[in-house]
């Protein structure tokens, strides 16, 4: 695997396959291995921005907007009109750009409805009982089965708990944005050990995703590379996952997978951004209110994890 290629801001276009099929651009954010998406209706040029990153330097606690600028430059270049700013869950490894994108585009922002349950868990962890109000900070909170219009296309919401208890998958025609459930087939699946996560629920969520039509393009939330390739990847079909995903290919035993996932998760370190990210993302990508000196401060629980 080429480390230099994994550090590049790669952009790829997965073209519409025809009627009912969206154009999808994936934009790789190398600092966190995150994939940001632009999903657009080819006929009306309406677009949804999905899981865009607000860049953060954890050594100096400074923010910047390279990823937001890159995504909005693509939107302008492709003559798209942003209709939605969407996040699949409150991310643990990067700060969401939801509030910033809403401000810059005027589009409503949205997330899964169970973000309120996640907010209650983390309000307890931070001992900040009144800090988080998703009804205030997100224009829409989608429940399982709800749909949203994207030009002439329709995007359907699947509840996909496991990584978090409120994660959602967004299905638009032959494209599905599966966030932190699946990795690429040569890597497997995502962790389920954060507060509210559950490996058994993640298994069920993945199995539901893999019942989508075999030619559905699955777009994953992260890629950290693999030994057999030298660049980030984020797209594979349902058929490719069912045939070759190293964790959940057809024939995989449920209990064996849960045991493997839980054992693997026990070896993983806490992401270096999580304690900052959750109190920002549960505010819709906003900093806590400024204090009397005009500066913003984050609260970190000591000896909690």
- Kindly report, residue by residue over 205-228, the tens digit of the pLDDT: 999 999 999 999 999 999 998 888
How far is Cα 201 from Cα 162, in angstroms, rounded to an integer?
5
Domain presence at residue 212:
yes
pLDDT of amino acid 259: 98
pLDDT of amino acid 233: 96
Domain presence at residue 142:
yes
pLDDT of amino acid 3: 54
Domain presence at residue 6:
no
Q: Do 151 and 172 touch, CB atoms closer than 8 A?
A: no
Domain presence at residue 184:
yes
CATH of the domain at 78: 3.60.15.10
pLDDT of amino acid 5: 65
Domain presence at residue 296:
no
Angle, in degrees to the nearest 10, between helices 98-105 and 66-77: 40
Domain presence at residue 299:
no
pLDDT of amino acid 1: 43
Burial 106-138 (b: 16+ CB within 10 A, else e): ebebbbbbbbbebbebbbeebeeeebbebeebb
- Kindly report, residue by residue over 226-261, the tens digit of the pLDDT: 888 889 999 999 999 999 999 999 999 999 999 999
| Domain span holding position 98 | 12-281
Domain presence at residue 48:
yes
Nearest alpha-carbon partner for 245 in 303, 181, 299, 177: 181
Q: Exposed, middle or buried by CB within 10 Å (0-12, 13-18, 19+), for 218?
A: buried
Which residues of the chain are under the pLDDT cut of 70? 1-5
pLDDT of amino acid 4: 58
Number of domains, the chain: 1
Domain presence at residue 305:
no
Between the alpha carbon of residue 74 and those of residues 26, 67, 217, 267, the distances in Å are: 11, 11, 21, 38
């Amino acid at each position: 695997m080429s480390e230099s290629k994994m550090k590049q801001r790669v952009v790829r276009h997965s073209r519409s396959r025809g009627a009912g099929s969206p154009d999808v651009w994936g934009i790789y954010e190398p600092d966190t291995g995150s994939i940001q998406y632009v999903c657009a209706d080819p006929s009306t040029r309406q677009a949804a921005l999905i899981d865009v990153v607000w860049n953060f330097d954890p050594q100096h606690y400074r923010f910047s907007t390279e990823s937001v600028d890159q995504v909005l430059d693509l939107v302008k270049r492709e003559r798209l009109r942003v209709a939605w700013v969407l996040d699949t869950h409150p991310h643990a490894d990067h700060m969401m750009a939801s509030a910033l994108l809403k401000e810059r585009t005027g589009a409503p922002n949205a997330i899964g409805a169970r973000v309120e349950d996640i907010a209650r868990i983390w309000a307890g962890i931070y001992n900040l009982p009144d800090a988080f109000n998703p009804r205030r900070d997100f224009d829409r909170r989608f429940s399982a089965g709800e749909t949203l219009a994207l030009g002439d296309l329709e995007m359907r919401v699947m509840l996909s708990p496991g990584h978090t208890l409120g994660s959602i998958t967004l299905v638009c025609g032959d494209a599905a944005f599966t966030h932190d459930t699946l990795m690429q087939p040569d890597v497997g699946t995502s962790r389920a050990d954060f507060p509210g996560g559950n490996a058994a629920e993640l298994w069920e969520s993945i199995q539901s995703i893999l019942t989508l039509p075999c030619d559905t393009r699955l777009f994953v939330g992260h890629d950290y590379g693999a030994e057999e390739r030298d660049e980030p990847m984020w797209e594979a079909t349902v058929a490719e996952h069912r045939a070759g995903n190293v964790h959940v290919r057809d024939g995989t035993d449920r209990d064996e997978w849960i045991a493997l996932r839980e054992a693997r998760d026990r070896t993983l370190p806490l992401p270096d951004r999580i304690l900052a990210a959750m109190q920002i993302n549960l505010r819709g990508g906003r900093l806590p209110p400024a204090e009397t000196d005009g500066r913003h401060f984050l609260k970190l629980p000591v000896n909690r994890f």
